[in-house]
Amino acid sequence: MATLEEILAAERPHILRRWLDVVLALHAPETARFLEDERDPFANPVGEIMRQATVVLYDRLCQPTTSAACPPLEQLMRLRAVHESTPSRAVEFLLALKRKDIDWNEYTRLSQLLTQTSAIAAQVTSSAAVKHADKRLPDIQVFGTTANYPQLFNVDLAAGRYFLDAEARSAQALVVIGWDVKDELFPHVDPIGREITVDGRPARVIGVAAQQGRTLGQNQDNRLYAPIQVHRQWFGSRESLDLLLRAAPSDDHLAEAVRVARLIMKCRLD
């Protein structure tokens, strides 16, 4: 039987990859992609520090004494503190590193148990090339969501509709495209009912999101929304889901809903 040290050594590449993904996921999608893809340490010093610090942190945590883990841990905390406005956000990555992944079954279970919430939705994000005819957009944010996502995020539509719950659960390849995607792929025609491809996979446009502009420097219009089950078919089902809660009957109950959700996740049966 393998020792703990042997298991940690064998799983080191996988764990380090997972840790980096978790830390990057706390940033906006566009920022996370830059931090991961740009390997020049001079052009991307923040990403380089993240990669080096997570490696050193893991190796030192595997040592008999964990006090040596303090310097790389402090380095990551300082890096987060520079970009975040509160101490709680600066140490958020520590909780994320130990957070359990949420799969579709877990979301279904929570949606049945969380009676304090009036709505619970799930999302997962990726990026892909989107194409129509001879026009191609190389890096579009693809949001896989449940059908009730617009209720929680107030996704206003300029045309068409969002997909229904039955359509989402049956994994129909339907998409709602952002304003910039519509402008680039369909500058002079109505996109509703037309087909696009997402990384080569066909999908039918059923809606166009209203123009949102930029939020905190991030473009909100270069994206599309697809049923979460379709997203899982396109990109795989290994990514952890993000849960979105809306408390009932008012936002005063949100803290209690979050507390109950955390308790359920902590006590869940694996």
State the pLDDT at residue 270: 45
Q: What is the mean pLDDT of residues 87-103?
A: 62
Taking the C-alpha atoms of residue 111 and residue 261, their distance in angstroms, rounded to an integer, is 10
Alpha helix positions (H), the chain: 4-25, 29-37, 45-61, 70-83, 87-90, 92-98, 104-113, 149-153, 165-169, 179-185, 228-235, 254-267
How crowded is the C-beta side of 35, counted as CA atoms within 13 Å? 20
Q: What is the pLDDT of residues 207-232, one digit of tens each?
A: 999 998 876 557 889 999 999 999 99
Q: Are 194 and 203 in contact (CB under 8 A)?
A: no
pLDDT interval class at 143 (50, 70, 90): very high
pLDDT band at 136 (very low <50, low <70, confident <90, very high): very high
pTM of the model: 0.64
* Residue showing tokens 């050193």: 56
When pLDDT is averaged across residues 160-176 and rounded to a whole number, the result is: 95
Residue listed under structure tokens 């964990």: 66
Least confident of 48-62, 131-145, 225-239: 48-62
